[in-house]
Amino acid sequence: MLVNAKEMLTKAKAGKYAVGQFNINNLEWTKAILETAQELRSPVILGVSAGAGKYMCGFKTVAAMVDAMVDSLAITVPVALHLDHGTYEDCYKCIDAGFSSIMFDGSHYPIEENIAKTKELIDVCAQKGLSLEAEVGSIGGEEDGVVGMGECADPNECKMIADLGVTMLAAGIGNIHGKYPENWAGLSFETLDAIQQKTGDMPLVLHGGTGIPADMIRKAISLGVAKINVNTECQIAFAEAVRKYIEEGKDLQGKGFDPRKLLAPGSQAIKDTVKEKMELFGSVGKA
Ligand code: 13P
């Protein structure tokens, strides 16, 4: 059964570890992440962007697939199905589709409008038992065609949004989606520290988990980050493994063209990546 992310993140924040949000793209992705979480006894959040939702034939299809898979794979660790960077409209679509958690990304609205829309969605989520993530300060990089330059969040704005009663808060601290450029200045721990001081127990979310060095991840967790999003790194690992299979000519041997064989190394690569992240985030054995 799917659960919302409230309890797993409250425990993570108190226990000084983070739960990984791994974005899904298809059935193989979902299966690889769920199996790894179960093997490692780790809570997990499956992230779905608008683009990935569209690719998988809509949020209803995604919710039905994940729900059925949790049941058929006999997954007993807590699993949340979460809309990643949702627009106002997509939030309602996911609430209707049976997601257990949503992110309302109102960071591009003026703060007053972000607050009004967030408040409204908090009420709807509270009635239906969903958790809600809000964002302050845009996260840089490109995701689904939306390019942000990245800016550090204002700790006072973070407090305003946190006080509305969101479950978790994403704050820009110099992190970006996708690969980090050579000249990346690193995470602003000064900003993170100021945000955590203002927001207290609020679980903080670190987007753009791909390529952040392990020591920065550990420091971010020590300063209140309880959820870390990873997407690109699984995609790169999957593509590299499938490329290797084809370059070695394995698809031309016997029935190597069978998609179940062709995609198997990619699935294994996702599992290895997810395992590495769960170990780094400290969520292993926490479910
Ligand atoms: P990466 O693709 O950089 O890992 O970021 C994932 C993310 O933050 C999803 O919201």
Q: Is residue 49 lining ligand 1, measured as CB closer than 6 Å?
A: no
**Is 84 a catalytic site residue?**
yes
Where is 265: in which H helix or E strand? helix 264-281
Percent of the chain with pLDDT over 90: 85
Q: Is residue 105 lining ligand 1, measured as CB closer than 6 Å?
A: no
For residue 6, CA distances in Å to 158, 165, 186, 263 come to: 18, 12, 29, 34
Comparing C-alpha atoms, which of 50, 63, 60 is closest to residue 2? Answer: 63
d(CA 282, CA 18): 6
Where is 120: in which H helix or E strand? helix 111-128
Torsion angles phi and psi, residue 213, rounded to 5: -60, 150
Confidence tier at 152 by pLDDT (50, 70, 90): confident
Interval between CA 84 and ligand 1 midpoint (Å):
9
CA atoms 59, 60, 63, 64: torsion sign: negative
The 10 Å Cβ neighbour count of residue 111 is 15
d(CA 223, CA 58): 36
Predicted confidence at residue 112, as pLDDT, reads 87
Residues 6+ apart with CB under 8 A from 258: none
Distance from the Cα of residue 124 to its chain's centroid: 22
Q: What is the pLDDT of residues 77-114, one digit of tens each?
A: 999 999 999 999 999 999 999 999 999 988 778 888 98
Q: Is residue 232 lining ligand 1, measured as CB closer than 6 Å?
A: yes
Which atom of ligand 1 is least distant from the CA of 232?
Answer: 2
pTM (2 d.p.):
0.96
| Structure letter (DSSP) for residue 226 | E
Does the structure show a pLDDT above 70 at 148? no
Which atom of ligand 1 is least distant from the CA of 84?
Answer: 10
Q: Is residue 84 lining ligand 1, measured as CB closer than 6 Å?
A: yes
- Which value, to the nearest 10 degrees, does the dihedral of the CA atoms of residues 132, 135, 140, 143 take? 30
Considering the candidates 67, 71, 84, 163, report the single residue annotated as catalytic. Answer: 84
Structural domain boundaries of the chain? 6-238+270-281
Q: Does the domain spanning 6-238+270-281 belong to CATH 3.20.20.70?
A: yes
Q: Is residue 150 lining ligand 1, measured as CB closer than 6 Å?
A: no
